[in-house]
Structure 1
Amino acid sequence: MSESKLPQNSRAGNQQTEADMPPEAPQPLPWPSSFRIGTDGVYICEDAGNGTYSYNYVFSPLHILARTCDGQGKNWGLLVKVQAPNGQWHELVIPVSMLAGSTTVFRELLMSLGLRIASANYKYLLAYLSGANPQQIVRSVDRVGWHGGCFLLPEKCYPSQSEAQQGGKFALLCSEGVNPFQCRGTLHQWQEHIGRYLAGNSRLILGVCAAFAAPLLKPCGVEGAGIGFEGDSSAGKTTALQVAGSVCGGGGQNGYIHRWRLTDNALESLAVMHNDNLLILDELGQSDARTAAESVYMLANGQGKARAQKDGSARVITEWRVLFLSSGEMGLEQKLKEGGHRHMAGQGVRMVGIRADVGKGHKLFDELHGYPDGKTLADALKLAVSQYYGTPLRGFLEHFTANIAENTKAARAVLEAFEQRVCPPEADGQVKRVCRLFALLTAGGELAIRFGVLPLAPQSAWEANARCFQDWITLRGGLEAAEARDAACRLRAFISANRMSRTAHAAQNRALLYH
């Protein structure tokens, strides 16, 4: 893209003649020929009379990069790059349909990213964008995650070798709200201040493995699911979530963590925002029982509700793939019972409950790594996750996409081996399904160790997840189907509640029989 260094006194309405301007770049240009691009902004060329032209500064740097369209060749737009006052560049896709109506919407989008423009020059902004003719076309997508052989994050595409050779490019459509996939610090800093304290701590490893396993859902063909950390308010549940979230991103008041208290539409939007990644929801108690029950099915099944458009036709149903972590003082089963709802077996395999307290006297932690108590270690981790985040996921994706076929094969080998060696053969199908979830977490963790992203010894993820799986079986109450277990529990409760009265009646009947 051509960019000219214009004279400094050409800004703010000061005019320059055509002789003052550098020669025009070869055609075709991605912007209209009546505009020139300088390092300090965009200029409009106007007839000054007497066969001369003047160039007036109209707005700060705004570059037109490409046309965009979706996978069906529809919903066209412009990919632009705007420079903020601090010098930072931001990319944005502007739907061309916005240019047909009021200029307010796209102008607000650009100005929110740092575009500086006087109100008198609004007409030039519309002319600049409407007359754009970039030759490059890129595919626009509305979510992060897998798109063909590329894994897309807001700031970068991680292509497979074949995709990189083909030069496939994507543009992520802008969405409202804070970007959860932000980065701060280096991978080495994350490893030094957070990763090293995972060693020997099964619950921390479990959560972090979920972050690395989420991008494996599609390659390994595994369905989405969730794990809920249960326990009292000081058990360390939120610490486990914060450490897991630091793998993917952070920033903002709550870092990578969201709250359960959401509407259906908001939860669907969050799921799409975290497609092929880890979604974290804190404080299950803030959600009502009915919403929690429906949300677990919706998140794990990867599909939103069917809705109608204004004309009555069906909207396209929103879809996604996520692994999710949750926390709550009570588990999902207790939450549903509290609201008068029955806990279904399908919910139990889609959101697996596990106690945050490992029973070693230090709440969440098995190993304190030299800290005097669990609270001190938790406080140190909470401080660290506010300073170092997002880099482990990038490191993992760099390695995984370098050879997707071989790395997927390795992940599946770990997954299958874990299922065969850890899951008891007599276990019910429901238990085997949950074991597959823990196997996927193990695969993600062991790959991250192999890639040098997780600073742990080989087999650390296996050992931690195997222990957590056994702890889940203990909390669940056995290997049989949930329906059979619940029926046995109800029968025992009935016998216990009615033992005395039924025994008395039986004794009386025997007395009458032999009288």
Structure 2
Amino acid sequence: MKVHKEKSSDKEEKLLVTLLARTKMSESCPVAYRFIKITDSQGLESTRVLVPARALVSVSELKKTLLKCGHNPNVTKEYWIRAHQEIIKETDKIITLCYKPGFYGDVYLRVNDKAIGKVKEDKPVLHPDAKNHLPVEDKQETLKLWKMNVAPYALHSSRIMLALCCGFSGFLLKLSGMEGGGFHLWGMSSIGKTSSAYILASLAGSPKDVVVLWNNTDKGLEEIAVAHNDSYLVLDESKLLDKDVLAAAKIMQNRVYTLSGGKGKTRSAMYENKVAEWQVSIFSTGECSLQQLAASGNVERLEGENVRVIDVNADAGAEMGIFESLPDGINSSNELVHAIKDATHHYYGSAKPAFLKRLVADIQDDRESVKRKLEKGIEFFLNKHQVDRNSGIQVRIAKRFAIAYVAGSMAVKYGVLPFTKQDVMKGISTCYLDSLEVVLSEPEVMKSPLGRSFDAIIDFCKKDDLLNLIGNDRVTQTAIKKAPVIIHKVKGRTVYAVDKDLVHNCLPKSQRKGILMLLTKQGVLLSDTNKEYSTIQIVYKRKQVGRRYCFICKKLDKLIEE
């Protein structure tokens, strides 16, 4: 007689699914879900997923859904029946589906679906449809190591200090009642702007996952802004918007206004057929200031636009790009830029949750007390800088920097930033005072972002005794080679032909490439074909007399006048 092996009983087969809660049906959430936990067969790892009610109509439908979610397929038919019974059972635990991360009451919902703070009502959970543009907020290494290896760079750059504090201020916007907005750090390439963006990004995750490029679609940027609600948004490379200056100016103007205003333009089924809404702190970078971009495209700036996202010159004035000093063991700003890139891609993701944990605890303990301290800190900043309270524009500008100062000071108090409040004030105050020269001026006077380093070259070109080779055939080759600047015809254009060593000595290596590339793009500097920038061979009386940087006289003169 054939003997059949006895199958394992249902009781011996461990259930790998657990019902955690159900959603509450409402006008904003017409589809019901079950919130479940799926554990691996070893019981070591688990994932939490939302299962739509339509998947519960039969055991086979649920099986398909669970397998798509990564459930172990090596289980019996009887197991799937038990799993179905587990998930459809009654429960009084309810969750609220949310379409964006951020504050819900006194609880903060992160992009990884973890709620920070004690949940007193229904637990907030991100809707499955809301996860398309969520940033990846991974953590690598501890907060202690981030404080040792990344944060201290802010002590060598007021611009980096501003970036860090701008990030923390995003968590305070709702509490303060301020609209979204922030700062646009502008200047030549290779000046260190992206270093600021990297350090800011490292609060929440790896820079490669957190930094967003400006050249997304309008709809895409709106969805990205929603995904960063009640937090901060890092936008890099505004030069990528459009090759046409007028088009780029209009695109930038509209996007700055939309992002800071916190309201989208198109209705979406994802947001209950309403427009998307958000509140973010913005930190942007680009080669031109927003004023310059508007002026270049002859676009009239909208009222209040220049105080929503404020231009801050990336050049800190110490001939080291964004840096005012160098840490011990670092010999150049270029070396420091590479050190920051390495550090921020190794230590990240610990500062944001640490700050939010303390902030939410304070809010849940005494919300009004936190609000009063926030308002007091803003007033302290305004009083210290003697802001004219009768000027609405000056007050709004100062408040944008003030909330960054308060946020940075809170991060110091919470043990997230290894500085003093005085360090924070010094960095923010420096950026504030530098920005006033630009923000309160007319846009037409700021058309060239060349900075102080180009002034010496301009001074040489403005001298009265320049050697002019045009129509002059009595100059020796020796005299030509000794002259720092000559006037000559090159490619049919009258140019200032400047000795290449003079240019290299005047322009710091960290800024040289960016400045010369920009001048070539603007048609001020001639270059060889298919080169981003270059020197040109000077020919005099049919003989080559050396390569020089050739600035078209009319265009450089116009630049000097402006």
- TM-score class normalised by the smaller sequence: 0.7 to 0.9
**Cα offset for 1:324?**
1.0
Report the Cα distance in structure 2 between the residues aligned to 1:382 and 1:259, rounded to whole angstroms.
Answer: 17
**Cα offset for 1:225?**
0.3
- Tell me whether 1:116 sits opposite 2:68 in the alignment: no
Report the Cα distance in structure 2 between the residues aligned to 1:319 and 1:293, rounded to whole angstroms.
Answer: 19
In structure 2, the partner of 1:268 is 222
Query: Does the aligned pair in 2 maintain the 1:92–1:173 contact within 8 Å?
Result: no
**Cα offset for 1:282?**
0.8
Aligned 1:15-164 pairs, distance under 5 A: 15-17=7-9, 21=11, 38=14, 42=15, 61-69=16-24, 74-83=30-39, 87-97=44-54, 114-117=70-73, 124=80, 127=84, 131-153=88-110, 154-159=112-117, 163-164=118-119
User: CA 1:112–1:198 in structure 2 vs 1: closer, same or farther (change >3 Å)?
Assistant: farther
Aligned 1:90-239 pairs, distance under 5 A: 90-97=47-54, 114-117=70-73, 124=80, 127=84, 131-153=88-110, 154-159=112-117, 163-164=118-119, 166=120, 168-174=122-128, 175-176=131-132, 179-239=135-195
Aligned 1:480-495 pairs, distance under 5 A: 485=442
Query: Does the aligned pair in 2 maintain the 1:85–1:114 contact within 8 Å?
Result: no
In structure 1, the partner of 2:254 is 294
Report the Cα distance in structure 2 between the residues aligned to 1:309 and 1:393, rounded to whole angstroms.
Answer: 31
Query: Does the aligned pair in 2 maintain the 1:213–1:441 contact within 8 Å?
Result: yes
Per-residue CA deviations over 1:275-314 (Å, capped at 9, x if unaligned) read 100111111112242332211111111111143769xx99
Percent sequence identity over aligned pairs: 25
Equivalent AA in structure 2 for residue 136 of structure 1: K
User: TM-score, normalised to structure 2's length?
Assistant: 0.68
User: CA 1:114–1:392 in structure 2 vs 1: closer, same or farther (change >3 Å)?
Assistant: same
Report the Cα distance in structure 2 between the residues aligned to 1:100 and 1:340, rounded to whole angstroms.
Answer: 61
Question: After alignment, is 96-105 or 416-425 more displaced?
Answer: 96-105
Aligned match for 1:475, one of 428, 433, 438? 438
Aligned match for 1:464, one of 402, 427, 437? 427
Report the Cα distance in structure 2 between the residues aligned to 1:238 and 1:402, rounded to whole angstroms.
Answer: 33
User: TM-score, normalised to structure 1's length?
Assistant: 0.74
User: CA 1:362–1:266 in structure 2 vs 1: closer, same or farther (change >3 Å)?
Assistant: same
Per-residue CA deviations over 1:13-33 (Å, capped at 9, x if unaligned) read 993236xx26xxxxxxxxxxx
Aligned 1:426-445 pairs, distance under 5 A: 428-445=391-408
Query: Does the aligned pair in 1 maintain the 2:158–2:430 contact within 8 Å?
Result: yes
User: CA 1:358–1:489 in structure 2 vs 1: closer, same or farther (change >3 Å)?
Assistant: closer
User: CA 1:373–1:309 in structure 2 vs 1: closer, same or farther (change >3 Å)?
Assistant: closer
Q: Say how many residue pairs are matched.
A: 426
| Unmatched segments (≥5 aa) in structure 2 | 243-247, 448-562
| Other structure's SS at 2:399 match | helix
Query: Does the aligned pair in 1 maintain the 2:389–2:395 contact within 8 Å?
Result: no
User: CA 1:364–1:93 in structure 2 vs 1: closer, same or farther (change >3 Å)?
Assistant: same
Report the Cα distance in structure 2 between the residues aligned to 1:329 and 1:298, rounded to whole angstroms.
Answer: 21
**Cα offset for 1:388?**
1.4
Query: Does the aligned pair in 2 maintain the 1:145–1:151 contact within 8 Å?
Result: yes
User: CA 1:227–1:427 in structure 2 vs 1: closer, same or farther (change >3 Å)?
Assistant: farther
| Other structure's SS at 2:277 match | coil
Query: Does the aligned pair in 1 maintain the 2:22–2:35 contact within 8 Å?
Result: yes
- Tell me whether 1:256 sits opposite 2:210 in the alignment: yes
**Cα offset for 1:343?**
2.6
| Unmatched segments (≥5 aa) in structure 1 | 1-12, 23-36, 43-60, 479-484, 491-515
Aligned match for 2:339, one of 380, 390, 393? 380
